[in-house]
Structure 1
């Protein structure tokens, strides 16, 4: 049975949202400012990383690391500049 989990954070003035659909094949969709900028699939509970760019001047590359399981999924936003992971807050909708 698949289920959708949503995560969100703001970084450098931009909205970053992630949807993780769990199931046999996990699907991760990344939206920046409401536009899909990244997509990945993984088998089972394997973590997946999705590189995306924030539309800053110059563009800023960040990576979303989603872990579908086991248990409740979670997401991190990792910046290339300092490599410091930011925990993305779960959203209920």
Structure 2
């Protein structure tokens, strides 16, 4: 059975959201300010990284790392400027 998990974080004044769909075909979709900017298939429950650009001047590249387990899926925002991974908060919808 397929299930969707939603995550969100605000970074540099922009909204970054991730949807991780688990089940027969696991995928992650990344939205920046409500627009899809990246997606990837998750194979064998291995973590996947998806690079995206924030529409700053100049554009800022960040990476979202999504994992389906163990346990519940989770996402991290990896920003190249500060180097510290930031946990993306789960959304209950």
**In angstroms, what is the RMSD of aligned CA positions?**
0.9
Runs of 4+ with >3 A deviation = none
2:14 alignment counterpart? 14
- The 2-side partners of 1:82 and 1:66 are apart by 19
Give ranges in structure 2 of 5+ residues lacking alignment.
none
Give the Å deviation of 1:24: 3.1
Counterpart of 2:90 in structure 1 is 90
Give 1:69 shift. 1.4
TM-score (norm. length: structure 1): 0.95
1:61-89 Cα deviation digits (max 9, x unpaired): 00000001121000000001122100000
Could you say which residue in structure 2 is the equivalent of 1:65?
A: 65
Does the CA-based 8 Å contact 1:24-1:44 persist in structure 2? no
Residue segments in structure 1 that go unaligned for 5+ positions in a row: none
Task: Please state how far the C-alpha of 1:45 moved relative to its aligned partner.
Answer: 1.4
Q: Deviations over 1:11-65 (max 9, x none)?
A: 0000000000011331000000000000000223110000000000000000000
Aligned partners of 1:58, 1:12: CA distance in 2, in Å? Answer: 12
